[in-house]
Structure 1
Amino acid sequence: MSTNVRSPYSQKIRTVLLVLATVLALLTTGLVTFSLAEGAQSDSMARYPGSGAQSVPRSTEILLQLSPGWADAADDLSIQVTGSDGSPVPGHTAVNSSGILSFVPEDQLDAGRTTVEVLHHTATGDGEDQTLDSWQFTVNQARDLTEGAGGSLLLIARDGTADSYLAEILRAEGFMSFDTVAPDEVTADLLAHHAVVVVGAGSASGSHVEALETWVAKGGDLVTLRPEGQLATLGGLTPAGGAVQDGYLTIDTSSSVGAGLTGESMQFHGAAGIYETNAAAGEGAADGHSPETAVVAVLSSAVDDPTVHPAVTWNDVGTSGGHVVTFTYDLATSVLLTRQGNPAWAGQERDGSAPIRPNDLFTGGADEDDYLDLSRIGVPQADEQMRLLGNTLVMLHDDTGPLPRFWYLPHGKNAAIVMTADDHGTDDGTRESFERMLGLDAPGCEVRLWECHRATSWFYPESPLTDSQAASYQEQGFDLGVHATTDCADWTPESLNAAFQTSLMEFRDKYSSLRDQRGHRLHCIANSQWLEQASIGLRWGIRFDMNYYNWPPGWIQDRAGYMTGSALPMRFSDVDGRIINVFQQESHLVNETWNGSSAAIEQLIDAAEDERGYYGAFGTHYDFSDAFDRQLMEIAAERDIPMVSAQQLLDFTEGRNASSFANVSYTDPGAAASGADEDTLEMTWEIDVDDRASDLLQAMVPLRSGDRLLASISKDGTPLDFHVRQIKGITYAFFPAANGSFEARYR
């Protein structure tokens, strides 16, 4: 992070050079004007978005950094924008004191190819406008981030609640094939076409509950969060009054659904209802089904004070095989707040060290407990609770058939290190680090396949790295961009937007050969609000945010772990379930926090590789003030842990999220063909893999279905090898995910 602001001497040099350039331009204005009037486009002028840029956000502004001579003629310039349908885009053109000509659209841009023309309105000659510059870029297609790809899972989510965030949780756990509906869209026919239904806490009441009761009684499998009334009764629970606020839960790891998960108590955020489970005797005992509700996890108000009240339960319903799993707290809200911190503390300086940073969202005070219990920082609490939901879905779905999913990282890896530097104007830090990494490459390695080691560097325009050097490193697979700065000051939304504009355009003015950057970490990790940084960054194309950062050292106190409770990239959201299309990735391994020690690196890798199974990607920070980047490289290379850039992890995550299973079906050949093995279950499906995840993604299916064991998998009629792994208490068959048709036989 380094709290040093940009060197005043380098700023003075830039000012002197700018004055000289202005004088020279004024002396040669006629020559420059003539050249441009002849139609020559000024590639030396910095543009945003860049020419040919893809996946541009719909909320973008359009910018052109004017050369000094043209800045004086700014009143005679305008920007004309044409949408993909050929229609003009209404908006406002302005120029600021730095000579940045901007166009702010009145509404969000439409998806597709957008054309920009910068016009010079001249009163000489025939009076026609002259084109000073023109370029094109492509705007993102609008997406509903609450939707899945369709499939056997159904998510019931009420608008304006955190229910919608369950969609992001399902994706993080590798379940892409789901449908999302509002409560008033639930029908008996819709339920009949799904194997497992998840009901968000905000959807716990309404007319749809009666349809859910009927469906479960006929054998349906239901997961419900923080239920009310009828849903609580259906789950075998009776409200006992009161609630546990911001407490703890402890998983029973001897239960089938909790096996393989952590047995340590974990925090949850929000309120958990207090319920009593069914009595030991009652209706249903005569039909051979246990009337008791099994407790999978229990609640407590304090870290080491478990109670008898359930946090998660499993209830068998009726005689047709229906089940209800109940989370007595709102898992979606809890995961969201565990990752993003306490929104009530936004804008508060809580640790006594300016500026306001992300850790202030987790830091208590003299009369308040920390939002993160540091005794549990070594447990990825959000991830483990999401995996408890994942285990639940797989086990419930087995009533219908095996539930396929995707693994977290390429090639079935348990861990990856996201190598990201903040270069504050070092003489040669970025170049030397990149060259050292190139020296680790195996001959013939492919960057796209995560076979080569690569990194990101965010740096100041004052860097001695030239544009051609930067372009060469980008061509070799490295990720480069600006380290935007507010000069370590707290910000308002307006000042942060201005800081992005200034930093990005200064950077593009020097490094015109580089693509628009997608990842970022703000200088000093200044974070004055709760969600605004992600929203404002999105305007500037930032899709991968690494500002959540294990710091300061006096608070962390040498505890390796997960400030956000997670090692998985997931999108930001507000408390009402409005998902922002920007991924949050924690910076777990921070050179300043560890003061040159490599202990945290080893500890996080160990936790991912050993029986704990704390899988994920570990974000880093180094600024070439010490040897931390070398330690990361040495340990990762020795232990065969991929080192990747922020852009690589973003590409893979988006590709994984855009991949899906389709047309999954289950048949019993023995029931249809005389003489066939009646104990055989046949499962068929198709896989559609996004290009960004091609040759990287691993699929997985449970090794067992009921009493049957997986005997074979084939792709497009050809037998396929698979390898077996136990993940969080469930044994899976892993195999490469590729486009095609698949078949599995269980006997």
Structure 2
Amino acid sequence: MKPSKTVIPVAAQPILVLTDSNSSNVFNSYITEILDTEGILCYQTVDLNLYNVNLTYLDNFDIVILTDTASLSADLITTLASYVNNGGNIIGLSPDIQLAYVFGLTSSGTTTSEQYLKVDTTTTIGKGVTGESMQFHGEAENYSLTGALAIAFIYSDANTKTTKPAITLYQYGSGHSVGFTYDLAKSTVLFHQGQYKYRSNGDNDDPDKDEIYRLNDHFYNYLDSTRVNIPQADEQQDILVNAINYLANFNKPLPRLWYYPDKAMTITWITGDGDDATKEQIQMYADKTKEYGGYFTLFEGAGNVFDDDLDNKLLLDGHSTAKHPNLGCRKPPLKGAEAEITRQIQAFINDYGHQPLTDREHCLNWVGWTEHAKYLSANGVRINSNATSFIGNSGDKAYLNASGLPMKYMNENGDIVDLYQQSTTFYEKNDSTIVDESLNNYHSVLTYSFHPVYASTRLSWIETAVSYSQSKGIPMVSGDTWANFVDARRDMQFQNIQITGTGNTISFDIQQGSLPIDNATIMMPNKWGSQSAELIQEDGVTKKHSTSTIDGVNYTLFNVSLNTGQTKSYTVKYNKFK
């Protein structure tokens, strides 16, 4: 039995996310992981299986995001339609087809699965997104347009356009709707984690028959190799962010937390697997990275002569060290893997006196679908970099998991696993085209994998990578620095967002949780109607700011630093264009 409406969470944020734990799509709640990753930290969630919502409650919110729910009641359909008709804004992720008229669509009653979409980059919501067709995973409802503007159409293959919309924009009454005819949340999970049927403990294990269990197995015949250089999942998340910015502008612009510190547009993470390397070889790679202003991460592996003295020296120089777990390099059984991962990571902690925050497995071994992630998380690891496109049928490309962003796993029951997946972009090489695309368009973490044991013949390869990053002004972070920033970023929340002054100022608070953060970049849309951001203040003191166009949106950017548990107040004043 559902609780009384009186116990529904108090409306405290401008965005309401309606999830449904009764939905057959267990991935529908992954939308919150997407919002957290994109720095949209001004939302709250209500589970429709637990609470009833009414029009009075919905009217408190500027935007409602409706996930892929079970069939909605007639009363809730009417309530949602009335909310939009009265001036509310809704984003539907594979919404109930009973709401088709609110999105300016008519359902055919059929679906399409595992195809492509292509964005119209001339539209406000599509601006800044790639103009190439992209895959989507899962099912899409087949609609026809009955008033809506298509932001993207479904393609039956990479080149063949259909008349079926994938993403739409519509004005319904005094409000607006943006519809995704597929579930962005489910598609993103599958982009990152691949096919459940190819997990190592399933009946279709090792589909590429290389006799090695890897995360790559999950993507067998799933990833279009002609699209591996596009972070397709990230690009589709950008469409969601653009939709939120567009809809928010009808009420008030909303703050956003950027991915990286100090206004960086991309970062590089230089790593090395220590297998069989000498101390001298490891030191050469670390020194070469630091020579160009960067920091190195060593994954300590079997057969090398790593010791406490070298560990201390690397840490004192600002580098990071972590474990390179070895499960045998072939087909490790799921049973016993947890104990072995635990044994090796705890041995590292006992030997060197610190917690490894990142890892990459020897031979990229991966067991289960998300069980491996659970085992790493239980041992304090925060980021895993096993998703690598240079192994298997995906070819020597960049984005195996269609992403360059750290995002958490979700298991087959719809539960978040507290470990970030960070793809490895390059293996023993640098590709300046991919680096430039990330810097200018995709804004990915560019992760490099090297092997110091090959220092005699390949040291110049790491020099090529780090010198190019330096020449482009790209920060080269250590694994510990990056993991701590990612966690601290997730520990931030925007509060009390409101219009103040004479109606041209947005005020809000930023509250930091248990982890301090330095030089986090806050973004505000530079334009609000006919006004532009002019004055930024932090606790009443004017702050320096800059502007930059990112993913088609012109933002005002400024940095903030907060201690553990600290709250600071901000105002952004908008004035008429000059």
So what's the TM-score if we normalise by structure 2?
A: 0.90
- Match among 435, 438, 442 for residue 605 of structure 1: 435
Report the CA distance shift for 1:149/1:520 in structure 2 as closer, same or farther (over 3 A).
farther
Residue 158 of structure 1 corresponds to 20
In structure 1, distance between residues paired with 2:451 and 2:530: 55
Residue 620 of structure 1 pairs with residue 457 of structure 2 = no
| TM alignment of 1:134-533, pairs within 5 A | 151-159=13-21, 161-183=26-48, 184-185=50-51, 186-202=53-69, 205-206=72-73, 207-278=75-146, 292-318=147-173, 321-347=174-200, 348-363=205-220, 370-428=221-279, 429-441=281-293, 453-460=294-301, 462-509=303-350, 511=351, 513-533=352-372
Post-superposition CA distance 1:660-697 (Å, at most 9, x none): 2211101462xxxxxxxxxx512111222457563320
Alpha-carbon distance in structure 2 between the residues aligned to 1:417 and 1:434: 14
What amino acid is the match of 2:446? F
Q: How does 1:11-90 map to 2 (within 5 A)?
A: none
Match of 1:25? Answer: none
Aligned residue for 1:299, secondary structure, equals: strand
Cα deviation, residue 148, structure 1: 13
SS in structure 2 at match of 1:661: strand
| Alpha-carbon distance change, 377 to 150 in structure 1, aligned in 2, over 3 angstroms | farther
Contact 1:378/1:561 (8 A) holds in 2:
yes
Check whether the contact 2:525–2:554 (CA below 8 A) recurs between aligned residues: yes
**SS of residue in 1 equivalent to 2:126:** coil
User: What is the TM-score of this pair, normalised by structure 1?
Assistant: 0.70
> Partner of 1:494: helix, strand, or coil?
coil
Amino acid at match of 2:132: E
Offset, 1:462: 4.7
Is 1:643 the counterpart of 2:476 in the alignment?
yes
Equivalent residue of 1:406, what SS?
strand
Aligned residue for 1:174, secondary structure, equals coil
Question: Aligned equivalents of 1:203 and 1:658: distance in 2?
Answer: 31
Note closer, same or farther for the CA distance 1:690–1:410 as it changes in structure 2 (3 Å cut): farther
Cα 1:712/1:204, change in 2 over 3 Å:
farther
For residue 249 of structure 1, give the secondary structure of its aligned residue in structure 2. strand
Residue of structure 2 in register with 1:448 after alignment: none
Would you say 1:734 and 2:557 are equivalent positions?
Answer: yes
- Asked if 1 retains the 8 angstrom alpha-carbon contact of 2:297 and 2:479, the reply is yes
Cα 1:710/1:482, change in 2 over 3 Å: closer
- Tell me if the contact between 2:549 and 2:555 (Cα under 8 Å) persists in the aligned partners: yes
Name stretches of at least 5 consecutive residues in structure 1 with no aligned partner.
1-146, 279-291, 364-369, 442-452, 592-596, 670-679
Residue identity over aligned pairs, in percent, reads: 26
Q: State whether residues 155 and 197 of structure 1, in contact with CA within 8 Å, keep that contact through their aligned partners in structure 2.
A: yes
Q: 1:666 aligns with which of 499, 519, 524?
A: 499
- Alignment CA distance shift 1:149-1:728 (3 Å): farther
Q: Partners of 1:615 and 1:726 in 2: how far apart?
A: 12
- How far did 1:215 drift? 1.3
1:629 aligns with 2:462: yes
Shift of 1:577: 2.6
The answer to whether the 8 A contact 2:275-2:302 is kept is no
SS of 1:683's partner is strand
Pairwise CA distance, 1:238: 1.0
Asked whether the 8 Å contact 2:138–2:182 carries over to 1, the reply is: yes
Change (3 A) 1:439 1:300: closer
**In 2: Cα distance, 1:476 partner to 1:561 partner:** 29
Match of 1:702 among 525, 530, 543: 525
2:337/2:367 contact within 8 Å kept: no
AA aligned to 1:649 is W
Tell me which structure has the larger Cα radius of gyration.
1
Residue pair 1:148, 1:177 contacting (<8 A) in 2 also: no
- CA–CA distance in 2 between the matches of 1:726 and 1:586? 26
Contact 1:204/1:231 (8 A) holds in 2: no
Paired residues in the alignment total 546
Please tell me the residue identity of whatever aligns with 1:397: A
| Unmatched segments (≥5 aa) in structure 2 | 1-8, 563-567
Given that residues 450 and 462 in structure 2 are in contact (C-alpha distance below 8 angstroms), is that contact kept between their aligned partners in structure 1? yes
Does the C-alpha gap of structure 1 residues 208 and 241 become closer, same or farther in structure 2, counting only changes over 3 Å? closer
CA distance in 1, matches of 2:38, 2:209: 37
Going from structure 1 to structure 2, the CA distance change for 1:350 and 1:150 (only over 3 Å counts) comes to farther
For 2:407, give the aligned amino acid.
Answer: M
Partner of 1:133: none
1:549-560 map, 5 Å? 549-552=388-391, 555-558=393-396, 560=397
8 Å contact kept, 2:17–2:64: yes
Partners of 1:270 and 1:148 in 2: CA distance:
34
* Whole-angstrom CA distance in 1 between matches of 2:445 and 2:231: 12
Q: Is the 8 A contact 2:338 2:372 kept in 1?
A: no
User: Which residue identity is paired with 1:243?
Assistant: T
How far off is 1:150 after superposition?
5.5
Deviation at 1:383, TM superposition (A): 0.2
